[in-house]
Chain A
Amino acid sequence: QVEQVKLLDRFSTSNKSLTGTLYLTATHLLFIDLSQRETWILHHHIAAVEKLPLTTSGCPLVIQCKNFRIVHFVVPRERDCHDIYNSLLQLSRTAKYEELYAFSYNPKQNESEQVKGWQLIDLAEEYKRMGVPNDYWQLSDANRDYKICETYPRELYVPRTASKPIIVGSSKFRSKGRFPVLSYYHKDKKAAICRCSQPLSGFSARCLEDEHMLQAISKANPSNRYMYVMDTRPKLNAMANRAAGKGYENEDNYSNIRFQFVGIENIHVMRSSLQKLLEVSGTKGLSVNDFLSGLESSGWLRHIKAVLDAAVFLVKAIAVESASVLVHCSDGWDRTSQVCSLGALLLDSYYRTIKGFMVLIEKDWISFGHKFSDRCCQLDGDPKEISPVFTQFLESVWNLTEQFPQAFEYNEAFLLQIHEHVHSCQFGNFLGNCQKEREELKLKEKTYSLWPFLLDEQKKYKNPLYNPDFSPELTLLEPNTVSFNFKFWRNMYHQFDRSMHPRQSVFNLIMNMSEQNKQLEEDIKELEAKIKRRSGQSDAVFVKEHQQSVRPAPTALKTPPCFKKDQPLIPLNDAVRTIEGSNTADNRYSELMEEFSKAEPAIVSLEYGVARMTC
């Protein structure tokens, strides 16, 4: 505990600050300012701690978090600062999985609830929903003991005609043994999205079993003879890989494939791109042109566009040509996961529901071995393995929600909350790099699953504009990927910089209002019943009439938030929370209005970039 610590405003040019006390707990860093406002920072969220040179007011300490929060403390005594610095370094760098928060986090669930929580998402059920197994596709037990591929799940779906020797042969010809398997099956088109890693083709090597495997995939699609093979890498990278005995499919060796590069950059490019983006957006007194040119030179939006463009290509192949598509990159767990999952999201409206999105993440990211632990740096490891691949996926989804405001059951807060927990290590879902590792860690016994908690408070994550019958003729989304559609995701990268956001959120307002509408409907029913009892006559027509015009209501309104001490997701969320408790059907909205204006000291925004008066 250190007192008289100052928390500096990140963008203030005049070093505005709050004074308060800093506490260090086993899991969190806590700052309480004089007005008793709390700022909690999970140790696992800390990406970097930096001690700046001593100043007259004390020793500055800058903490960068994985959720893009940046806090700047000034500690009066250097010794204290040094102590905090060292403790944070230790606490934020975990050497063993067992030391992660998830293993000590206890949400007061009993054992059966814990088990049930883990059973919430059942991938076998999901494949059944897609329509497999069927005449063309079957469950393979080849990898039941992780013998063929350690980073794949046990249950894999392959074409019926792909025999075990073909699978084994193909897996030997694929990097890390990641042979082509089913990722998504499109029932109507009978076309499949399959995924794998790059072939070990070198300059000339070929593998009959692998060729058979691809043929089996294309034959499993009765509606189209040819299939696409998408290499999601830039052509140059793929060619360079040939020198290392890897590479890409030679169209001459495979019958009926159409080969296509789509040019998504690798994890290292993405890492440094994000780094540049954060440098730019974190600049004090940033000018518009520096922001735009920084945005451009970071390449971040270019990468997001490339990912979405690839998904659009995939979707066209399936929806327009009814052709199956095989997607790979190098190892088939980064770009491949992005493209396969986004493709499925565009094709199938189920993944645009809250539950469906969880399933999608479980399937294409968790089970197929996206290396969450390495990419999110859960353990102290190789910094070159860190990469915002999953963040890009979420950002692509966010872009889609912006283009199709009614197509998604979930809102931005849902995406941000998932991002938060991918890094928090509070739940077991994202720990480790693959299913095998997760089983060895006995995560299902020792930790809790995130999804039931999100479902419990799904009210917060519902999109009030969601229309399940959105564009009835096609559940297919066809996003416009012209450059001007891609915007900087302010709510992600400046989630905690409240002064930058709109002071009144239409979204929160509408969310509250549709909640309130339900309450009002109840009230009306109740009142009408009372009146009926008193007067003996009824005019209950009203509710019936109008209920038809409202959208199906979100269900449960129960359970308080389970993430105690969580930070607000979208600014003003706390204002929303104050509303939840009240029960009167009276005008809550005007209360909210006052809340907004009061909560925002008027000077904050002005102070940034404006207030310095010079003669």
Chain B
Amino acid sequence: MEFAELIKTPRADNAVLHRPFYAAVEGTLCLTGHHLIFSSRRSDDGEELWLLHSNIDSIEKRFVGSLGTIIIKCKDLRIIQLDIPGMEECLNIASSIEVLSTLDSVTLMYPFFYRPMFEILEDGWSAFLPDRDFELLNSVTDEWRLSSINKEFSVCPSYPPVVIVPKSIDDEALRKVAMFRHGGRFPVLSYYHKKNGMVMMRSSQPLTGTNGRRCKEDEKLINATLRPGKRGYIIDTRSLNVAQQARAKGGGFEQEVYYPQWRRIHKCIERFNILQESLIKLVEACNDQSHNMDRWLSKLEASNWLTHIKEILTAACLAAQCIDREGASVLVHGTEGTDSTLQVTSLAQIILDPGCRTIRGFEALVVREWLQAGHPFQQRCAQSAYSNSKQKWEAPVFLLFLDCVWQILRQFPCSFEFSEQFLIMLFEHAYASQFGTFLGNNENERSKLKLPQKTMSLWSWVNQPEELEKFMNPLFEANSLVIWPSVAPQSLQLWEGVFLRWNRPSKYLDEAQEEVFSIIKYNRLLQAKVNSLRKQLAELETDDRMQENV
């Protein structure tokens, strides 16, 4: 297919761009296969807006006489308005955008066409391989092994080719366990807590069904993670009710009789369209400036967004508490084990593991616990808050995770190497990107699409020193401790950087932020100077002494 066929009017002069808090700009609008480009007529400011078609969530058109207006709502929650003279031009452009922003085929997406303008220092596609994680693990414990059982993606289509499992369980047993778990997602290692050797595993629900099926290999597998005489905790991210209902559909939960060494805790984390609805309501509330206080608060409440944040954080704190405080191993799962499960396991690691709070560590966490673990990004992030499609599989699961990380970052502003900007950047790229990292729903699909060969990795770009600089948190001071966030409603806040980003002028806040940075920078400068002067002085003193001795 040629993109040119879809673009009947590639260019419109005298278009006007409206954005909140900016003066309207007159200029030229161009459509290309992947971008909407608006360039200001005034050459002095040379302002250009490049918008990926895949970033467009929905468009509306309106006409007043022959002046057409297109309102474009983006997945990053921004809303812009374009006035285009000429009804036909406007209609053509609108329909082109509509088609181009909803292309079905992944291989037509921009990442397959994007050619980087920068030199690749380190290929992001090979920066985070499971083998390396295992090497690190193997240096502290020999109870685990790397299994290639899923090399062909035949045992579990949503798992990566290699996974870490208890050494005592052979591949044959794994195959049986996979049959007993939803989607073949048998329990695998998610996190090893070096401090006390406790582990966090994750899986999908067991397929017990109504007749209480059991699987001895499954029991053996998870028992293999227990210390003698110790109990473990199974954190089921569904309420007991939901878990019980799942049995009717062949799913279920671990029964006490067969798992006597495990205590099961049910936590209720919502899924799918409930979350998507929540996002839509929240964004709607944030976008309406005319709400009086009561209406704003009741809309904020009705969105339930912060409730979801609290539930997810609470479950993650609980998992972390079991591991660090109770000294117990933990197994986390919900239904499929690709959404709430990953929210809990990844957040627990942020709480427990200082390594995950560095940029590199956080990238590794996203790769390991989200991309390789098979969170279906392409389905979940197909549309954002303005879509009307209401597909069951669309859900802001990853955005909720990022929001939770932001909440912890707010409470421990010095314990993270990355800044809020880094989280916002990940949110944007998960929904629309020039990089292939978040394409596909699992490693299986990614390898079929040959993403590593045909597209650029987000990490290749981010990890360049000059880019990385922008995402650094200048307050960072390595904190080797476990950090326990408060989950009281008074401590949770609306993530303004995402949800109010386009709704209010941020000049004063940005300037204050810069001031903070400059104080810190100046401090470092002074410290370095003092140290070097001290050294100089000490040298002079020794010289003097030597001279005296002479």
Contacts and interface: CB of A to CB of B under 8 A. Distances in A.
B106 interface: no
A288 B312 CA distance: 13
B344 to A, nearest CB: 13
Contact of B540 (A521, A534, A611): A534
Nearest to B324: A602
Interface string B472-497: 00010101011111111111111000
Interface in A601-615: 602-606, 608-611, 613-615
Contacts of A296: 293-294, 297-298, 301
A613 B328 CA distance: 13
A585 interface: yes
Interface in A475-515: 480, 482-488, 490, 494, 499-506, 509-510, 513-514
Interface stretch (A22-30, A49-57, A400-408): A400-408
B321 A484 contact: no
Contact of B317 (A301, A521, A606): A606
Contacts of B529: 520, 524, 542
Contacts of B24: none
Contact of A502 (B289, B307, B410): B410
Q: Which one of B286, B300, B500, B518 has the greatest number of beta carbons of chain A within 10 Å?
A: B300
B348 to A, nearest CB: 12
B265 interface: yes
Contacts of B482: 602
B479 A480 contact: no
Interface stretch (A113-121, A148-156, A385-393, A587-595): A587-595
A579 B525 CA distance: 21
Contact of A302 (B294, B325, B534): B294
Contacts of A613: 233, 263, 265, 318, 322
A605 B320 CA distance: 13
B541 interface: yes
B526 interface: yes
A490 B264 contact: no
Interface stretch (B35-43, B172-180, B207-215, B509-517): B509-517
A513 B520 contact: yes
A293 B307 CA distance: 12
Contacts of A602: 325, 481-482, 484
B150 interface: no
A505 B504 CA distance: 25
What does DSSP make chain A's interface, helix, strand, loop or mixed? helix
A265 to B, nearest CB: 13
B521 to A, nearest CB: 10
Interface stretch (B59-67, B69-77, B411-419): B411-419
A9 interface: no
Contacts of B415: 504
Contacts of A597: 479, 481
Contacts of A530: 537
Nearest to B304: A289
Nearest to A295: B297
A286 B537 contact: no
Contact of B490 (A465, A500, A542): A500
A370 interface: no
Contacts of B322: 613
Contacts of B307: 287-289
Contacts of A110: none
A615 B263 contact: yes
A558 B318 CA distance: 47
B484 to A, nearest CB: 5
A291 B490 contact: yes
B99 interface: no
Given A467-B515, A486-B293, A513 B503 contact: no
Nearest to B313: A610
Q: Which one of B508, B518, B544 has the greatest number of beta carbons of chain A within 10 Å?
A: B508
Contacts of B412: 502-504
A525 to B, nearest CB: 10
Contact of B512 (A295, A465, A516): A465
Contacts of A286: 488-490
A292 B321 contact: no
B139 to A, nearest CB: 27
Contacts of A464: 519
B338 interface: no
A524 B522 CA distance: 13
B325 A405 contact: no
B248 interface: no
Interface residues of A, number: 80
A482 B504 contact: yes
B116 interface: no
Given A510-B519, A524-B533, A527-B534, A484 B500 contact: yes
Contacts of B293: 296, 299, 301-302, 305, 483, 486
Q: Which one of B522, B526, B544 has the greatest number of beta carbons of chain A within 10 Å?
A: B526
A15 to B, nearest CB: 17
Nearest to B410: A502
A531 B512 contact: no
B201 interface: no
Contacts of A604: 484
A528 B533 contact: yes
B263 A292 contact: no
Interface in A454-475: 464-465, 467
Contact of A524 (B265, B483, B526): B526
Contacts of B504: 480, 482, 484-485
Nearest to A502: B411
A281 interface: yes
A484 B503 contact: yes
B486 to A, nearest CB: 4
Interface in B446-498: 475, 477, 479, 481-494
Nearest to A600: B484
Nearest to A549: B522
B314 interface: yes
B292 interface: yes
Interface string A392-432: 00000000000111110000000000000000000000000
A236 interface: no
A302 B520 CA distance: 38
A527 B530 contact: yes
Contact of A406 (B295, B489, B508): B508
B536 interface: yes
A87 interface: no
Given A483-B291, A500-B491, A527 B541 contact: no
B182 interface: no
B306 interface: yes
A433 B492 CA distance: 39
B296 interface: yes
B375 interface: no
B265 A11 contact: no
B421 interface: no
B491 A405 contact: no
A487 B297 CA distance: 10
A605 B408 CA distance: 12
Given A513-B519, A530-B537, A484 B296 contact: yes
B262 to A, nearest CB: 10
A435 to B, nearest CB: 36
B527 A587 contact: yes
Nearest to B314: A610
B523 interface: yes
29 contacts: A286-B488, A288-B309, A288-B492, A292-B297, A293-B298, A302-B294, A407-B508, A480-B505, A484-B503, A499-B488, A502-B410, A503-B411, A504-B411, A504-B413, A510-B519, A510-B520, A513-B520, A517-B519, A520-B530, A527-B533, A527-B536, A528-B533, A534-B541, A597-B481, A602-B481, A609-B314, A610-B321, A613-B265, A614-B265
Given A499-B488, A510-B520, 19 more contacts: A281-B490, A288-B309, A291-B490, A292-B306, A296-B298, A407-B508, A465-B512, A482-B504, A483-B295, A484-B504, A490-B490, A494-B490, A504-B414, A509-B414, A513-B519, A514-B519, A517-B522, A524-B530, A546-B522
